Structure 1
Amino acid sequence: MNNKHGLIVLSGGMDSVTLLYEYQKDIVLAVSFDYGSKHNARELPFARLHCERLGIEHLVIPLGFIGQYFHSALLSSGGAIPKGRYDEENMASTVVPFRNGIMLSIAAGLAESRGLDRVYIANHFGDHAIYPDCRSSFIRPMHEAIHEGTGNQVSISAPYTDLTKGEIAAHGKKLGIDYAETWSCYEGDTIQCGTCGTCIERREAMQEAGIIDPTQYKE
């Protein structure tokens, strides 16, 4: 008998890959979204790799309209990715409007159609200042809306909401995750740049967790 009843929104980055491994006993399906970001092509193969390794079904859902109609430096249609620390002023241009709201809505519908009643998402405390749809003040009402709007009362599980990325990396260290098999860099080149906000945050998280960073950076 299969007791798994969860779906995970999986990007292929550090946070969602850690969540995948930590809650793998409850996860039967992983869904990634190809929404036109500069780094989609680098993240998605890692998402697929980890799902294959764990024997978890993996779907990639195209959301091309985001890249076509939305404005963000994170998208292939947008401007340059800012360099420097991961703070509100510097990284505001990388906001993709209501991205998590769109993805969670689709994930909830997919979960209901599969008879699953839980959607996992790896938003975390470090995102709160910059990304409105990563905050607990968003996750709570979104959970209520999805719970009330689905026949099987799908819930959102966001266990990293109040954790820093360093604390998430510490979870990954205990789980034995090789973070070389994840992608963070927003530039989406063949090698992670090491100097954009999310690369700096990645480096600091692993240092905080006592992990020797296995990532190859440009600089």
Structure 2
Amino acid sequence: MKDALIVVSGGMDSITLLNEFKDEIAMAVTFNYGSNHAEKEIGFAKLHCERLGIKHLIIPLEFMHQYFKSSLLEGADAIPEGHYADENMKSTVVPFRNGIMLAIACGLAESNNLHRVMIANHSGDHAIYPDCRKEFVDAMSDAMKKGTYEGVEIFAPYTNISKTDIAKRGKAIGLNYAETWSCYKGGEKHCGKCGTCVERKEALRDAGIDDPTEYEE
């Protein structure tokens, strides 16, 4: 039964979730909040939704780029390089991004008689992104359920697994990760040096996948 709406970015995690649970998804939504890599990600989100025959909405959130503080919104030169575990990666946090997106997705779900909102947060996100942690997702799901007639809930099956585990799931269903985007700098090719590029490399390597990504280096 297709009773879910998915928040899909075009990155490895959400594209894996989209393809793994395609038979349960009635609608997908991508939010354009003005990040450096938005154009790249949105293109892949659109590609996969079209291929799967899933209705896909792209909703602009220009106010986030205009008023929020994050290196993710300030151009490629502002993106720190290194591992996600490094302290400087906190600059890439877009304040309450998932809270805002989930709230809108909840309204969309109820408007379309859907009962679940899917999101692809995972255990590796938790260290620096407060709105990816299990505690937040559970609290947000509870608020959504109490605030809707349909009792809309969040379905976040990757919360307690790693990006490597996600890549293994993608490998099992034959997903081509060349058709995803990770790099926060949003250039023609992945930079290979920012936190999300480093994480992408590690996940694909540890999942036993030959990395199909084109890197600048």
For normalisation by structure 2, the TM-score amounts to 0.98
Deviation at 1:87, TM superposition (A): 1.5
Are residues 1:172 and 2:170 paired? yes
Identify the residue that residue 75 of structure 1 maps to in structure 2.
73
Identify which range, 70-79 or 32-41, moves more after superposition. Answer: 70-79
Q: Which runs of 5+ in 2 are unaligned?
A: none
- Alpha-carbon distance in 2 for matches of 1:172, 1:126: 17
- Alpha-carbon distance in 2 for matches of 1:148, 1:185: 36
Deviation at 1:76, TM superposition (A): 3.7
Letter in 1 for 2:211: D
Deviation at 1:88, TM superposition (A): 4.7
Instruction: Name which of 43, 60, 63 aligns with 1:62.
Output: 60
Residues 134-182 of structure 1 deviation map (CA, whole Å, 9 limit, x = unaligned): 0001001100000000110001000000111000000000010000000
| Contact map agreement 1:88 1:129 (CA 8 A) in 2 | no
Letter in 1 for 2:113: G
| Contact map agreement 1:68 1:77 (CA 8 A) in 2 | no
Identify which range, 152-161 or 75-84, moves more after superposition. Answer: 75-84
| Contact map agreement 2:75 2:185 (CA 8 A) in 1 | no
| Contact map agreement 1:117 1:155 (CA 8 A) in 2 | yes
- Alpha-carbon distance in 1 for matches of 2:126, 2:58: 26
Letter in 1 for 2:126: H
SS at match of 1:29: strand
Identity across the alignment (%): 61
Identify the residue that residue 21 of structure 2 maps to in structure 1.
23
Residue pairs, 1:34-73, within 5 angstroms: 34-73=32-71
- Alpha-carbon distance in 2 for matches of 1:4, 1:132: 30
- Alpha-carbon distance in 2 for matches of 1:200, 1:110: 34
Residues 44-96 of structure 1 deviation map (CA, whole Å, 9 limit, x = unaligned): 00000000000000000000000000000001469610011111502000000
SS at match of 2:216: coil
RMSD of equivalent CA atoms: 1.0
Q: Which runs of 5+ in 1 are unaligned?
A: none
Deviation at 1:119, TM superposition (A): 0.4
- Alpha-carbon distance in 2 for matches of 1:13, 1:21: 12
Residue pairs, 1:1-219, within 5 angstroms: 3-76=1-74, 80-219=78-217
Residues 3-25 of structure 1 deviation map (CA, whole Å, 9 limit, x = unaligned): 31100000000000000011101
SS at match of 1:74: helix
Q: Aligned residues, how many?
A: 217
